[in-house]
Amino acid sequence: MVSYKRVLFLIFLFPLGLFAQDGHYMVFFKDKTNTPFSVDEPESFLSERSLARRSKSGALVNTQDLPVDPVYVQEIKDLGVLTYYTTKWMNGLLVEATQADMMTIAALPFVDSISFVAPPRNLTGARIDDGENAKFKINLSSVKNIFRSQSIDDQLNLHNIKLMHENGFSGEGIIIGVFDDGFRGYADISAYNHLTQNNKILDTYDFAIHQRDVNVGFSHGVQVFSIIAANSPELLVGSSPNADFVLFVTEDSRWETWLEEYNWLFAAERADSVGVDVINTSLGYSNGMTVASMNYTTAQMDGKTSIIARAAEIAFTKGMFLVNSAGNYGGSSWNIVATPADVPNVLAVGATNASGTIAGFSSRGPNADGVLKPDVSALGNGTFLLRNNGTRTSTTGTSFSSPVMAGFVANLWQEFPWLSNAQLLDIIRKSGDRYENPDNNYGYGIPDYERARSLIITSTDQVKDNGILIFPNPAFDRVTVSTGPIFRKSSNVEISIVDLKGKTLNRENFQTENGSVITELDVSNLQRGIYIVNLSEGKKHISLRLIRK
């Protein structure tokens, strides 16, 4: 990938090479000096749902979350160039401009660096493709053993997801973001009426052609969506049909450039602001780019080099849970996972058949840094889904094992909402049938609901983490918070109680004694339910759950 260098250095040495063509560029700024927002008032740019999710994962709002300086954006707009999306997390702006315009932009005093991300493109051209996204399409003639599901229920039964549903956990209250290449036809399919007629599609946007409507274009996304969201007993029941959803198009399958990775970044920031809990991405990036200089090497699949890998890691730090297809490169010259499945904190999902045997095409690990990949495996060799016309079929690819797991994650989080994304990721790995003997074919194996539930219950009867104990828990009128010497001596610790919507209900300050705090909190005024107890001292922030009976 491009190594970002100081713009003035680039202008001096490479004035023609850097801006050799018209096209799309990312312009990165030096600071956020004039942003009108403040980290002390995050509700002005993040939803209550976003703040609640961050709270339980200990994700503090920081300057990275502040919107970019609008003065900088306006100055570039005033040059007459096309401007599209800004990124808070990377402090930049996507523009479409000529070579001459880019030379002018590069000379602006607030511009830090610039990256070419895509040549000019026709955004109004046909975007119709009923097949799978080309980069994840499998050459079936090269696969010796293609298995089909014996039953439409296999993709749920393999993980005990049907038991989740029977226990009342099918995603209610969880927001799932599906990032893909298009959702053509979803609004007209009766299997999604429970969502479309009840305002459970919370947001849609096509970042590739800049419009709200995603019911057009490619249809790989709607196939992926069906595996999670369909609710038609005679056709297909998805893994988490009662969740709320956002549907974002980040991929334009007519081309393959870094622009799609930045689209993913823009979508992730929008998802964060909305309050999305789980993101499913059945896409990945490796080589074969439209612009050859943008190709990655296997050595760069280290979870921190690619644009989308860096974006995914930031998204995880905001408390979101990321699920990604491992890729269909098994047995090829590439063989390993594609980015962002290479990110350690992304749940990369390989593909098995209905019997739990890994598919030959499923990408292997480890990543380039030696991190175990894939993380887990699910049914992706004979997965049932709905086409964009509402009919059912069975097909193959890690694109379709990933959404099975995304629903699994959502249901588990519904049942145990106090878990942080890191805790949930750890539990799901440990629930795999190969956890004691993982490998880079299956990862930790096939996750199971009953194993995961047992792990959670046995570890959280009394909440104790990082040297902190909250008891009794569940509590009635009063609860004791006791910590070990984990804070600075004679420091001030703020203890707050927050509901799952992100509203702070109580906040008190306590002085440590030799770095410890022992205090009793009055919770008699709280309604029955689940709350988050936050302890903050300086840069140290710890969140634990509390049940009020």
pLDDT tens across 337-387, in order? Answer: 999 999 999 999 999 999 999 999 999 999 999 999 999 999 999 999 999
pLDDT score of 376: 98
pLDDT, tens digit (0-9, with 9 covering 90-100), for 42-67: 989 998 889 888 877 878 899 999 99
* Selected residue with higher pLDDT from 383 and 503: 383
- Asked if 470 and 477 count as a contact pair (C-beta separation under 8 A), the reply is no
Outline where 275-317 has alpha helix (H): 307-317
Q: What is the mean pLDDT of residues 240-268?
A: 95
Comparing C-alpha atoms, which of 45, 56, 14 is closest to residue 424? 56
3-state helix, strand, coil in the chain (%, to 5): 30, 25, 45
φ and ψ at 143, to 5 degrees? -105, 120
Give DSSP secondary structure letters for 107-175. Answer: TSTTEEEEEEEE----TTS---B-S--GGG---GGG-S-----SSTTHHHHTTTHHHHHHTT-S-TT-E
Mean pLDDT of the region 203-210: 95
- How much is the pLDDT for 512? 85
> What percentage of the chain exceeds 70 in pLDDT?
89
What number of H helices and E strands is found in the chain? 14, 23
Beta strands 347-352; 321-325: pairing state: parallel
In the chain, the amino acid numbered 34 is N
Q: Which residue, 221, 201, 244, is CA-closest to 402?
A: 221
How far from 257 is each of 174, 295, 457, CA to CA, in Å?
32, 9, 45
Nearest Cα to 120, choosing from 223, 316, 257? 257
State the residue for tokens 């260098």: 5
pLDDT digits (tens, 9 = 90+) for 173-187: 999 999 999 999 999
Q: Return contacts of 259-264, CB within 8 angstroms, 24+ apart.
A: 259/24, 259/94, 259/117, 259/118, 260/208, 260/285, 261/285, 261/306, 261/307, 261/308, 261/311, 262/26, 262/85, 262/87, 262/94, 262/117, 262/307, 263/207, 263/208, 264/179, 264/308, 264/311, 264/312, 264/340
**Residue 93 pLDDT class (50, 70, 90 cuts):** very high
Q: Which residues contact 47 (CB under 8 A, 6 or more apart)?
A: 273, 274, 275
pLDDT tens-digit readout, 397-436 = 999 999 999 999 999 999 888 788 999 999 999 999 999 9
pTM for the full model?
A: 0.82
Which distant-in-sequence residues (6+ apart) come within 8 Å of 4 by Cβ? 28, 113, 115
pLDDT at residue 137 greater than cutoff 90: no
* Residue position matching structure tokens 């990949």: 373
What are the φ and ψ backbone dihedral angles of 215, each rounded to 5 degrees?
-85, 25
Summarize the confidence of residues 503-514 as an average pLDDT.
87
Mean pLDDT of the chain: 88
Amino acid at the residue 228: I
Could you give the angle at the alpha carbon of 386 between the alpha carbons of 382 and 387, nearest 5°?
Answer: 105
What's the mean pLDDT in 120-133?
58
Residue 129 pairs in a beta bridge with: 218
